[in-house]
Chains A and B, each alone.
Chain A
Amino acid sequence: MKIAKAAGAAALAVALLTSASLSSLAQAADWKPRKPVEFVIMAGPGGGADKMARLMQTIVEKHDLSSRPLIPVNKPGGSGAEALVYLKQKTGDDHVIMVTLNSFYTTPLRQAALDVDISTYTPVARMAEDTFLLWVHNDSGITTVDEFVTAAKQQGKEWKMAGTGRAQEDELLTRFLNKTYSLDINYVPFKGGGAVAKQLAGKHVNSTVNNPSEALGFYEAGTVRALASFTPERLPLFPDTPTFKELGVDHSYFMQRSVVGAPGMSPEAAAFYQGVFRKVYESPEWQDYMKKKSLRGDFLTGDALMEYWINGRALHQQMLKDIGDL
């Protein structure tokens, strides 16, 4: 392993040296990538983040937005820890960007040993925010949040909620429901939103807090029903589904779909990627996708995006503290 480490360190040093010398050459105003851009995905193949990253890549190719291709690389390890550390190792590299989600906040908070400070990363673009709804199976006969609370109270610990991963979005929402309605829901983590949706459709669990994109297929087939959304206003795709705010519980929660660059990326390169992803955001394909999947949110970049991240981190720190995870 020693040899591996030494070799890795040497390779890294060489990479840093070359990228440093190259970036000094590239001080020209219109910076362009000179080699394929690594497009790191903070999740495994087939998940929500992966699908979105591949859609972005497709749009970049289709509209010929980048002179060099984006090459997707999945780094799902350790709830995104692997991807975050990888980007940190690539400090100063102008050819590495990453698609990220809310584990961008929670993973560095929960794994302090990683020594990752997200405020050092380069903000490129917030492409959308994903929304959350509370779902039950149609056969359960439950149609309102009140009925849900009554049924869940009655069953106590036997009421099962499926979600993606530990101490991530779905569990934070489950804990919130437990606290607000004094329930004792049993949270069971699965890999990926698709698997979660299947658990509910197959009646292996009682409820989920899936993103619309994950539950949409079963919703359209009439298998599952949305009870309420964790959003400030009703979602256009679910006009008859009330928000929790309407029901007197003002709680909104979103999952960011953002693109981040390696720490210490040169301003020219950052400006280039920001321009590329602004065009992706404005493309008809992306707008159509956002509408179909019930995504929301404006395009954010630069300082505004950094501020959004700092706020997001503070929010998640509080949420993790509330559930006793920090």
Chain B
Amino acid sequence: MMEILSHLIDGFAIAVQPMNLGLIIFGCALGLFIGAMPGLGSVNGVAILLPMTFLVPPASAIIFLAAIYYGAMYGGAISSIMLGIPGASTAVATTFDGRPLAMQGLADRALVAAATASFVGGTISVILFTMFAPPLADVALAFGAPEEFALMMLAFGTFIGLGGDDIPKTFFSIFIGLVLSAVGLDIVSGEPRLIFGGIPGFMHGVNFLVLAIGIYGIGEMLWTIESSRGKLNVSQATVSVSRILSCLKDLKSTIKSMVMGSFLGYFVGILPAAGATPGSLMSYGVAKTLSKDPDSFGKGNVEGVVAPEAANNAASTGSMLPMLTLGIPGSPTTAILLGGMVIWGLEPGPRLFVDNQDFVWALIASLYAANLFAVLINIAFIPMFIWVLRLPFTMLVPIIFILCVVGGYAPTQDMHDVWLMFGFGVVGYLMRKLDYPMAPAVLAIVLGPLAETSMRQSLLMSHGTFSIFFERPVAGPIMVVAIVLFLLPLIKMIKDRIKKPAEGTDA
């Protein structure tokens, strides 16, 4: 314990050197912007800036990139809340309640909640990271393909009630997402599949952002234009210091969701391959399940913003753990960071904590600092965001439209994806009009490929026997919990069926 503290103090001594501190602040601000731009997620930001880092020593370089990664996690919530377009896959769950809050003129509340939750999630996870990094690395190693599949089932399970009461429509939405997630490469046979006779743009699969921006950005915009006839104005939002303070006070009631999201996000984050997106989705699902008032979720419940935001920041710290201790990236962004460490001549892996202590502890200390600066910068910018929202809707629409196109193009730099996004926009508009839930489709396209790959790998290992998911000590219990979660809505439905006729006879 004392040893950890003294290492941490040494780390802080490096992190607060003027240049490093400057890089942290600059990185946070830059990350905030990168995260807030739809399509320009932390992956792109870190990748673009990677070659610039050879100008500074390795410790400063990773501190800078980590600050961007961190800032982007904060920033992702901003476009989710203000525009209803998730800036990155990690911020999808934030749109579910963040957008309705903004529509009700409570954007400042949602933004403050998101920033605070990110701070809590980030800090809890850095503390966990500081205390238990090496033992948790073993947990990450214990997760093989069957465990990953069980975890994905758990994620689906926590979300099964998400679509509301119309179960057939929810299933329809899930299946659309699953079919789209199957497009591209079949990892087991190595063959391309569902590529419509060889259209190259389908070979990389349907990017999650293309679907999310299509249905949430374009589709939602079309629907809003129709329903409001252009008169809608989200300008009721005002901002003042006292309002922000009162927002902070209101957050007291959500502390449970924040803490729950932080722990959940952190543990999902440390599992290689999972990353922050499933973590934030699961956290949202759990918060909804545990809530006293689950029906208010999706209609503007602050807890629905707090839970996923705490989780995605915690997960982003979590995913650094397998990167540093095992040399395996827990998310696409950490994969790039890992490449960077190799370029600087550091060898991530089990020996890093022994051979490069200075580097590791400077990074950990910088995460504490990055958290603090990210939340301060974020809250300082909230008045500006609100000011943007005060623009008339007729001006906002073209801006959102441009952001959507840029966001659809940026991840793959392929016009094919932009056309596809427009297609999804129309589908999203129709789904909205016909009252189909859209969140399950987005969930399915994010988790589908992970679930499919891990299931098929497990079945290859077991020669096709499904018992592999139940026999293993870690996978088994998770799987059982997942199945129970799947059955809950069914039980509820049967209960309601029994109740309803009874009520009918009473009347």
Contacts and interface: CB of A to CB of B under 8 A. Distances in A.
Interface of A: 1, 3-4, 7-8, 11, 44-47, 50-51, 54-55, 57-58, 61-62, 72-73, 75-79, 81-82, 85-86, 89, 110-111, 113-114, 157, 160, 165-168, 186-191, 194-195, 197-199, 201-202, 204-205, 216-218, 220-221, 223, 288-289, 292
A194 B328 contact: yes
B339 A50 contact: yes
B144 A167 contact: no
A190 B142 CA distance: 16
B419 A3 contact: yes
Contacts of A168: 190
B58 interface: no
Contacts of A198: 140-141, 272, 322, 326, 328
B416 A8 contact: yes
A55 B47 CA distance: 12
B398 interface: no
B339 A217 contact: no
Contacts of B412: 75
Name the 9 nearest CB pairs between A and B, nearest first.
A217-B349, A46-B335, A166-B190, A77-B203, A221-B350, A77-B204, A204-B144, A4-B419, A82-B203
Given A82-B204, A186-B461, A217 B273 contact: no
A223 B43 CA distance: 31
Nearest to B192: A78
B32 to A, nearest CB: 22
Contact of B343 (A58, A86, A114, A165): A58
Interface in B302-355: 322, 326-329, 332, 334-336, 338-340, 342-343, 345, 347-352
A4 B461 CA distance: 42
8 contacts: A1-B196, A1-B199, A44-B332, A54-B51, A55-B343, A85-B203, A186-B463, A198-B140
Given A166-B187, A189-B188, A194 B141 contact: no
Tell me whether chain A's interface is mostly helix, strand or loop, or mixed: helix
Contacts of B143: 202
Given A45-B43, A45-B47, A216-B347, A191 B187 contact: yes
Given A78-B203, A165-B190, A197 B327 contact: yes
Contact of A195 (B188, B273, B345, B460): B273
B415 interface: yes
B53 to A, nearest CB: 8
Contacts of B142: 202
Contacts of A72: 47
B192 A111 contact: yes
